[in-house]
Structure 1
Amino acid sequence: MANVLVIESSARQQGSVSRQLTEQFIITWQAAHPADQIKVRDLAVEQVPHLDANLLGGWMTPAEQQSEAEQAALALSNLLTDEVLAADVLVLAAPMYNFAIPSTLKAWLDHVLRAGVTFKYTETGPQGLLSGKRAFVLTARGGIYAGSNLDHQEPYLRQALAFIGIHDVSFIHAEGLNLGGDFMGKGVSQAKAQLAQAI
């Protein structure tokens, strides 16, 4: 039995293509792995604060010297990080907002990319501590960006995941969603077909 952690980051609850992809992922994964446990964290519903002085203080200040705000920030970061540590499979749903990932997803990453917990510094450079995990990244994009220098999602997320030791990453892109005509239907159907193959 494996643990699957799904991170939703679309600001929309209705009409979201990335949410369609995560729904399809869950249905397909459960059919193939009925004993697995799936947890969904929706960053649009349970918003994660952006990195601030309280979180930095919680990480760096001895427990007996932390303020209440620092303790609260650290407790949330610990919760989010523990979810990632417990997951065997990580699924990130990432619509493209202004050529990049949603700020809510970036905030989540800032909580879980933690020195000494999910990566460590060594004499030869940083080393990820989460090896052996698998990740899927499901994107939704108005235009067609895969492989172009305007795609700031895939390179960044590949680097962030590799930094914590996750190298087995499958990207599924639903593209051309705002181009009109048949682009949206084709983009979604192609992404769902790729997702089924990847699982």
Structure 2
Amino acid sequence: MTSILHIKASIRGGESVSNDLGQRVVDSLAAKEGANVTVRDLSDNDIPFVDADRFAANLAPYGDRTDDQHALAAIADTLIEELQAADRIVFSTPIYNFSMPATVKAWADLVARAGTTFEYTPSGPQGKLTGKTAYLAIASGGTTVESEIDFMTPWLKFFLGFLGISDVRHVAADGIMGEGGEEKIAEAKQEAEKLAA
């Protein structure tokens, strides 16, 4: 049975277009393959930003951590375990102000752990999360996805590749605050259901 990690980043909950698109991808994958689904909703704001103490804790070998470091590293440990366990990762994320929500960057800073999710080699960094597929379900009010003013999509694809996840596919409902927004959303919903086919 496939393991799916569904990461949500929109602050709009049930009204979110990106959440809707991502759920359609999840449902299609589950119907096709059968799945255990884990949901990580970053909009709950329980993802901390990395400071010096948390950074040191995240890099400390597990057996060498102090009690305080174990407490600081616990959230990163959990997020990394979710990624490692997943066969498919579905991101539901909007574009805010031409880039990603701050919670997505905070999540990325926590899961990028040298020696665990990637490693340094003589030929450069190598991702350790190979063999997985990621799906990006993106919504944007005005920014066209993969245009010169979209600083989220290429970054997120690069970051996932850095971790070893090179098979990254996406569906987007973009420019939906302009003319024809409802039609664009409807088209994206159909594409989302086909994306996992």
Secondary structure class of the residue paired with 2:5? strand
Deviations 1:29-59 (A, max 9, x none): 22222x3111111111252001112221212
Which structure is higher in RCO with an 8 Å CA cutoff and minimum separation 6? 2
Secondary structure class of the residue paired with 2:13? coil
Counterpart in 2 of 1:198? 195
Q: Tell me the percent identity.
A: 35
Return the alpha-carbon distance in structure 1 between the equivalents of residues 131 and 72 of structure 2.
28
Return the alpha-carbon distance in structure 1 between the equivalents of residues 188 and 72 of structure 2.
37
Secondary structure class of the residue paired with 2:56? helix
Counterpart in 2 of 1:91? 90
Number of residues of Structure 1 aligned to a counterpart in Structure 2: 195
Return the alpha-carbon distance in structure 2 between the equivalents of residues 97 and 144 of structure 1.
9
Secondary structure class of the residue paired with 2:184? helix
Q: Flag structure 1 segments of 5+ consecutive residues without an equivalent.
A: none
Q: Flag structure 2 segments of 5+ consecutive residues without an equivalent.
A: none
Counterpart in 2 of 1:184? 181
Correspondences of 1:109-148 after superposition (within 5 Å): 109-148=108-147
Q: CA deviation at 1:24?
A: 1.7
TM-score normalised to the size of structure 2?
0.92
CA, structure 1 residues 17+102, in 2 after alignment: closer, same or farther (shift >3 Å)? same
CA, structure 1 residues 60+135, in 2 after alignment: closer, same or farther (shift >3 Å)? closer
**Following TM superposition, where does structure 1 have runs of at least 4 consecutive aligned residues deviating by more than 3 angstroms?**
60-65
1:105 aligns with 2:125: no
Return the alpha-carbon distance in structure 2 between the equivalents of residues 187 and 168 of structure 1.
25
Which amino acid in the other structure matches residue 124 of structure 2?
G
**Contact map agreement 2:171 2:188 (CA 8 A) in 1:** yes
Counterpart in 2 of 1:175? 174
